[in-house]
Amino acid sequence: MKTQVGIIGGGPSGLLLSQLLHVNGIDSVILERQSRDYVLGRIRAGVLEHGFARLMREAQCGERMDREGQIHEGFEISDNGALLHVNLKELTGGNTVIVYGQTEVTRDLYEARDRMGGVIIHDASDVKPHGILTETPYLTYRKGSEILRVDCDFIVGADGFHGVSRKSVPGEALREFERVYPFGWLGMLSRTEPVSPELIYAKHERGFALCSLRSQVLSRYYIQVPLSDTVDGWSDEAFWGELKRRLPAEIAAKLITGPSIEKSIAPLRSYVAEPMRYGNLFLAGDAAHIVPPTGARGLNSAGSDIYYLFNGLRDYYRNDDDRGLEAYSERALARVWKAQRFSWWMTSLLHTFPDSEPYAKRLQDTEMSHLFSSRNALASLAENYVGLEY
Ligand code: FAS
Ligand code: PHB
């Protein structure tokens, strides 16, 4: 098979790129390791930056997001019971975010790809990039017992943190930066009315908690847990009880509980691989970087990668201009690192660090009191949360 852009990974990064390329007359093929149901069964991000929402509309996939997504003009931060409202719209001169689950984003992208004749090969095993330093790279993959080949001009690794693409870059060509946090997030999805119309990020001496939502009848909650915890060790009742203890009393009192329809623990890490290009292999999304979900930057960082990469590919094919592709890694990383900083800052501000020394604890408390007392500090938080300009 021959195409212009061979994409490894049928998650939001790969799908969004493929859709943007298609509406600009550029062919691509996606090789996805898992089945479609498996990909759509993953519960992940929930908050879209206004830039990501713009990309979805440019990809002709924004209708359901604009119809069913909820525009959020702010969110709450609670500090051991005291509530602070972060008015995103007022602090950023009108920018907001859309609360719309990554599952729905992925579903919309799959639907558009199908509607426009997109080539997505599921259950593609042993995907391997070849010839990435040549002008004729190609992919091979196994379907059943057959080994198949996709010839292309460029390969995009959109295969997430555990994918094959980053590992295809020789160790000496890659610089890796990582910070692992001493805790994880236990997340629960419940078919209950959300406790608050806006997200609540709760700092508490017992640990961090987050109240989010997917719709007016579907709530998403998280609590910080030790890395040694397992999902089986947390009954629904234990989860609800701990969440209540970490929320302001007036919020806890109106929390509607119910059976979990999904419960999982995600470890927290910050990670960046540089550069994001090696020959004719481009890395995008979680294949190149990971953030703790505290700042809701994971999916949104993938969005800015795709923006830069899509524009570079369009300039190449439309104007024979490769400057965008040449600048891709540098431009993408400049914004990736700003998302890394913000995610690290939000995580450091809101979580309980079991072994933090007393001085670090005072700094954390002071950071929070500065936020509660400085409009400029809040404005800096707000401009990062709604998404820095691409
Ligand atoms: P993805 O990992 O989503 O997609 C990669 C795709 O490549 C997958 O479908 C995978 O099956 C496929 N693949 C992997 N290896 C392959 C191979 N060798 N061959 C072919 N295909 C292969 N972000 C937030 O903003 N907020 C959150 O709350 C949040 N929660 C998260 C919870 C978890 C458990 C995880 C893992 C991530 C979370 N994230 C969150 C981040 C997440 O949303 C990512 O940023 C987002 O999925 C990135 O999308 P992709 O880059 O497409 O990577
Ligand atoms: C979510 O709804 O899953 C969510 C929202 C905001 C975050 C992290 C996760 O910062």
Give me the residues paired with residue 79 across strands.
82, 203
Residue 199 near ligand 1, beta carbon < 6 Å:
no
Minimum-distance ligand to the CA of 189? Answer: 2
Return the residue whose CA atom lies nearest to atom 1 of ligand 2.
46
How many Å lie between the centroid of ligand 1 and the Cα of residue 128?
Answer: 19
Return the residue whose CA atom lies nearest to atom 10 of ligand 2.
296
Minimum-distance ligand to the CA of 288? Answer: 1
Burial class (CB in 10 A: 0-12, 13-18, 19+), 372: middle
Residue 302 near ligand 1, beta carbon < 6 Å:
yes
How many Å lie between the centroid of ligand 1 and the Cα of residue 287?
Answer: 8
Q: What is the pLDDT of residue 49?
A: 97
Q: What is the pLDDT of residue 81?
A: 80
Residue 113 near ligand 2, beta carbon < 6 Å:
no
Question: How many Å apart are CA 124 and CA 342, to the nearest integer?
Answer: 36
Specify the ligand 1 atom closest to the Cα of 291. 41
Return the residue whose CA atom lies nearest to atom 5 of ligand 2.
46
Specify the ligand 2 atom closest to the Cα of 212. 2
How many Å lie between the centroid of ligand 1 and the Cα of residue 249?
Answer: 35
Residue 6 near ligand 1, beta carbon < 6 Å:
no
Question: How many Å apart are CA 250 and CA 318, to the nearest integer?
Answer: 57
The string over 69-107, giving b where at least 16 C-beta atoms fall within 10 Å of a residue's C-beta and e elsewhere, is bbebbbbbbbbeeebeebebbebbeebbbbbbbbbbbbb
Specify the ligand 1 atom closest to the Cα of 297. 25
How many Å lie between the centroid of ligand 2 and the Cα of residue 214?
Answer: 10
How many Å lie between the centroid of ligand 1 and the Cα of residue 12?
Answer: 8
pTM exceeding 0.85 = yes
Question: How many Å apart are CA 293 and CA 246, to the nearest integer?
Answer: 18
Question: How many Å apart are CA 340 and CA 173, to the nearest integer?
Answer: 22
H or E stretch covering 345: helix 323-350
How many Å lie between the centroid of ligand 2 and the Cα of residue 212?
Answer: 6
Decide the pairing of beta strands 218-225 and 175-190: antiparallel
How many Å lie between the centroid of ligand 1 and the Cα of residue 15?
Answer: 12
In sequence order, the 6+-apart residues with CB closer than 8 A to the CB of 201 are 75, 76, 77, 78, 208, 210, 294, 346, 350
How many Å lie between the centroid of ligand 1 and the Cα of residue 374?
Answer: 36
Q: At CA 69, angle to CA 67 and CA 72, rounded to 5?
A: 125
Q: What is the pLDDT of residue 80?
A: 83
Q: Which domains does the chain have, with CATH numbers?
A: 5-72+96-178+269-350 (3.50.50.60), 182-268+351-386 (3.30.9.10)
Minimum-distance ligand to the CA of 220? Answer: 2
Location of structure tokens 């960046």: 272
Burial class (CB in 10 A: 0-12, 13-18, 19+), 176: exposed
The 8-class DSSP code of residue 286 comes to G
Residue 306 near ligand 1, beta carbon < 6 Å:
no
Structure tokens at 196: 């608050």
Specify the ligand 2 atom closest to the Cα of 346. 10
The string over 41-54, giving b where at least 16 C-beta atoms fall within 10 Å of a residue's C-beta and e elsewhere, is eebbbbbbbbbbbb
Which three-class secondary structure state does DSSP give residue 331?
Answer: helix
Which residue positions in the chain have pLDDT lower than 50? Answer: none
